[in-house]
Amino acid sequence: MRRSIAIAVAAVAPLLATPAHALCVYHDRMYAKTSLAEEFHDAKWVVKAKVEAGDYHWANYGPSWTIYTVRVLTRFKGPPVATFRLFTYRDSGGFYLDKGTDPDLDSDYLLFLDPAIQTLPRGVANVVQVNYACGQSKQWSDLTLADQRTLARFARR
């Protein structure tokens, strides 16, 4: 019995050492299906943005992460900001703005953003994160016309 407990603890320990919300969790619901309305309400900024650069930090030990520089094309919610530095860990809860192994400089994205509240690597500051990596943030081309109209309606409120 003790051996089973030791094996279980050894299996779970690495998961506990990873950054907060390494899985897709939204309001304590794992892999929640969210709506545009929910995420619009919760996010500080909602923007259509274009990736300008990606700064990749790969680690053999410890977490890998990326900071993307994104330029705001359209602001739907939040104080005016011209560019954001968007932080993401390279894990199961990450939100990547990549095309292959490079930053996706060709696509526009709908992003629901908040100031980063997770534990950040040393020296990283003044960054935002996607509100919910498994949610409504996505390539702009994946939005339906109805979704675009809904965003415009929310922005007028």
- Please tell me the pTM assigned to this model: 0.83
Residue 93 has pLDDT above 50, yes or no: yes
Is residue 10 one of the residues assigned to a domain?
no
As for how many domains the chain has, the answer is 1
Domain that holds residue 39: 19-156
Residue 73 has what pLDDT?
Answer: 98
Instruction: Give residue-wise pLDDT tens across range 102-143.
Output: 999 999 999 999 999 889 999 999 999 998 888 899 999 999
Structural tokens at position 39: 């995420």
Tell me which of 47-51, 95-99, 130-134 is least confident: 130-134
71 in Cβ contact with 82 (< 8 Å): yes
- The per-residue b/e assignment along 89-101, b for 16 or more CB within 10 angstroms, e otherwise, is bbeebbbebeeee
| DSSP states along 80-119 | --SEEEEEEESSTT----EETTEE--S-EEEEEEEE--S-
Instruction: Give residue-wise pLDDT tens across range 68-84.
Output: 999 999 999 999 999 99
Is residue 46 one of the residues assigned to a domain?
yes
Residue 1 has what pLDDT?
Answer: 55
What is the chain's mean pLDDT, rounded? 86
- The per-residue b/e assignment along 13-42, b for 16 or more CB within 10 angstroms, e otherwise, is eeeeeeeebbebbbeeeeeeebebebbbeb
Q: What's the CATH code of the domain at 111?
A: 2.40.50.120
Q: Would you place residue 64 in the very low, low, confident or very high pLDDT band (cuts 50, 70, 90)?
A: very high
Q: Would you place residue 24 in the very low, low, confident or very high pLDDT band (cuts 50, 70, 90)?
A: confident
Is residue 5 one of the residues assigned to a domain?
no
Is residue 140 one of the residues assigned to a domain?
yes
